[in-house]
């Protein structure tokens, strides 16, 4: 850091040098004017400034320089306290990080599914204190209660099954720790605990009672799935076997199958008068948490923020600016026309036409769109949505901006809003075929997420009407129609049915749906018989 003595030396040297320089120029100007008076015939051939204007210009410049340096000695740093008041609730996530949470029956894994849900709802929890307790065979407080949403997001992204050394699943120890944290932070009237687990290995545990609201999130399937484990550094690994080994083959006979224990998770919720939600494929539990936070009784909290305010220099800087500005104006009168006239015009436009000039210099709408797209790619969907809203203040009639809003709303789980915006795009007079095809595809994805297969197939069909070569749409249609055929497989013996009923069923089988007609040119072995087909291929297009 530069000390005050150095600043003083630089200031004095600068002022002295400029004084000598301008003194020399002033002396030359005076001599030139004297020479022109003695030789009138050379008056129009030699240019020199009026001595009074030139002296006044030098005085203004040196005064501005002196005031600018002097302002550096008048800076005063004062410490200011600011009190902020807000309403808050304590939200504590108790997350299972045992090895079974790496099961792949929920894509890409059970723990990754929780991370995705938690990161999406964090912006809606702003203003509340959030903490995380992780447990397996042991437990510890991973993220202390904090209102810093960005810090909580970093903690959530760092979750992994390798973070607790002791194997197994001991929920009772984790809940004891949660109750200890509650006692230390009893100044908050609203306390919400979210238990996230697959329920495996909880059978022989005495679950302690939990104070406050309790929500249990179950992740997994009762059919179960293989447990995948890979080294975080090298990426090498495979699927866990019953002999505590790793194999890369899914056809090995001794693979461990982890199954979600729904009854145990429901009993934990009932014991604490809470609610249970399966969040493996639906987001009902997320909405339940947001509703609980909104309706919960909260207590006002005051926080004191201290910051330094540097003041004292601005009066001298303002004076220096005006002297410098006046020096520039005087310089205009020392210039030859028409250059001086053009310069004066520029200054007048700068003073009186500032709103228009700012519009020429900046593109606020385009900048907001650029920031929104960047935030979207960084998966910061809440910030992306805010940037697109800002852009609408400057660009209010572009369906492409509506498409960005729809995609962001979909990523945030705001499906109703995404559907409404998509319908505006489809009815917009400026929407071209390419944009409509993308919009119909997104609508199909939204309806698929909502379990509305009929409207999903209808939207996908509209996409292929516009763009018959859209491969992601064909894959999603094939996946949905396969599930539909499985659901409609006859369960009764048709041999006992009347001949007339048999004939009607044969006629129905011969009739093809719109989706099946679209898929006629494609081989049925192209996608569904792929080893990684089904939900995996469907998810990657969403």
- pLDDT tens profile 39-78: 877 777 777 777 887 888 888 888 988 888 888 777 766 6
Q: Look at residues 391, 462, 470, 475 and name the one whose alpha carbon lies nearest to residue 431.
A: 462
User: Residue 175 pLDDT more than 90?
Assistant: no
pLDDT at 357 over 50: no
pLDDT > 60? residue 492: no
Paired with 193 in beta bridges are 92, 214
Query: Which residues are CB-neighbours of 248 under 8 A, at least 6 positions away?
Result: 238, 239
pTM of the model: 0.45
For residue 250, what pLDDT band results from cuts at 50, 70 and 90? confident
Torsions phi, psi for 207 (to 5 deg): -80, 120
More confident residue, 351 or 238: 238
Q: What are phi and psi of 108, to 5 degrees?
A: -80, -20
* β-strands 246-247, 237-240 pairing: antiparallel
pLDDT over 80 at 84, yes or no: no
Bond prior to 357 in cis (omega within 30° of 0): no
* Cα(39)–Cα(46) distance, integer angstroms: 10
How is residue 176 written in tokens? 């004891």
| pLDDT over threshold 60, residue 448 | yes
Peptide bond into 108 cis (omega under 30): yes
Distances in Å between the Cα of 133 and the Cα atoms of 87, 194, 382, 512 are 23, 10, 25, 53
State whether residue 134 is helix, strand or coil.
Answer: strand
Residues contacting residue 399 through CB under 8 Å, at least 6 positions apart:
424, 425, 428, 430, 431, 435
Q: Give 128-159 pLDDT, tens digit per residue.
A: 889 999 998 888 899 998 989 999 999 999 99
Tell me which of 136-145, 207-216, 221-230, 515-524 is least confident. Answer: 515-524
Q: pLDDT at position 115, please?
A: 93
To which H or E segment does residue 308 belong?
A: strand 299-311
The radius of gyration of the chain from alpha carbons, rounded to an integer in Å, stands at 36
d(CA 107, CA 539): 8
pLDDT average, residue stretch 8-36: 85
């Amino acid at each position: 850091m530069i000390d005050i003595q150095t600043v003083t030396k630089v200031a004095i040297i600068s002022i002295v040098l400029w004084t000598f320089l301008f003194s020399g120029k002033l002396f030359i100007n005076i001599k030139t004017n004297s020479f022109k008076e003695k030789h009138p015939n050379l008056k129009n051939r030699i240019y020199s400034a009026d001595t009074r204007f030139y002296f006044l210009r030098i005085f203004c410049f040196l005064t501005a320089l002196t005031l600018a340096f002097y302002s550096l000695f008048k800076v005063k740093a004062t410490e200011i306290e600011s009190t902020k008041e807000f309403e808050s609730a304590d939200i504590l996530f108790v997350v299972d990080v045992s090895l079974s949470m790496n099961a792949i029956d929920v894509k890409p894994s059970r723990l990754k599914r929780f991370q995705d849900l938690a990161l999406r709802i964090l912006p809606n929890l702003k203003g509340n204190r959030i903490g995380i307790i992780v447990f397996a065979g042991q437990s510890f407080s991973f993220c202390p209660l904090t209102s810093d949403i960005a810090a909580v997001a970093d903690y959530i992204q760092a979750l992994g099954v390798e973070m607790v050394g002791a194997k197994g699943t001991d929920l009772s120890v984790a809940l004891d720790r949660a109750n200890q944290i509650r006692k230390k932070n009893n100044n908050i009237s609203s306390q919400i605990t979210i238990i996230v687990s697959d329920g495996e290995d909880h059978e022989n545990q005495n679950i302690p009672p939990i104070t406050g609201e309790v929500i249990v999130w179950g992740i997994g399937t009762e059919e179960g799935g293989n447990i995948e484990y890979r080294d975080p550094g090298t990426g090498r690994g495979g699927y866990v076997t019953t002999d505590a080994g790793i194999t890369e083959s899914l056809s090995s006979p001794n693979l461990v199958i982890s199954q979600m224990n729904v009854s145990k998770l429901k009993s934990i919720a009932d014991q604490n008068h809470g609610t249970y939600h399966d969040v493996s494929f639906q987001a009902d539990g997320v909405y339940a948490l947001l509703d609980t936070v909104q309706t919960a009784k909260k207590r006002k909290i005051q926080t004191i923020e201290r910051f330094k305010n540097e003041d004292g220099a601005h009066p001298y800087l303002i004076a220096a600016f005006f002297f410098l500005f006046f020096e520039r104006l005087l310089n205009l009168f020392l210039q030859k026309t028409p250059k001086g006239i053009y310069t004066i015009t520029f200054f007048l436009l700068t003073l009186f036409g500032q709103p228009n000039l700012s519009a020429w210099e900046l593109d606020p709408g385009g900048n907001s769109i650029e920031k929104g797209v960047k935030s979207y790619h960084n998966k910061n969907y809440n910030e992306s949505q805010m940037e697109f809203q800002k852009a609408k203040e400057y660009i209010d009639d572009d369906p492409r901006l509506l498409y960005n809003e729809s995609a962001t709303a979909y990523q945030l789980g705001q499906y109703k809003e995404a559907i409404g915006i998509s319908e505006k795009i489809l009815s917009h007079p400026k929407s071209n075929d390419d944009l409509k095809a993308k919009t119909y595809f997104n609508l199909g994805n939204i309806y698929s997420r909502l379990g509305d297969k009929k409207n999903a197939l209808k939207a996908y069909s509209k996409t292929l009407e516009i763009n018959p070569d859209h491969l992601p749409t064909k894959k999603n249609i094939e996946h949905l129609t396969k599930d539909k055929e499985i659901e409609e497989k006859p369960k009764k013996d048709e041999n006992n049915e009347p001949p007339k009923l048999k004939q009607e069923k044969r006629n129905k089988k011969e009739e093809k749906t719109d989706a099946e007609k679209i898929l006629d040119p494609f081989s049925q072995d192209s996608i569904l018989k792929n080893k990684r087909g089904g939900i995996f291929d469907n998810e990657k297009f969403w």
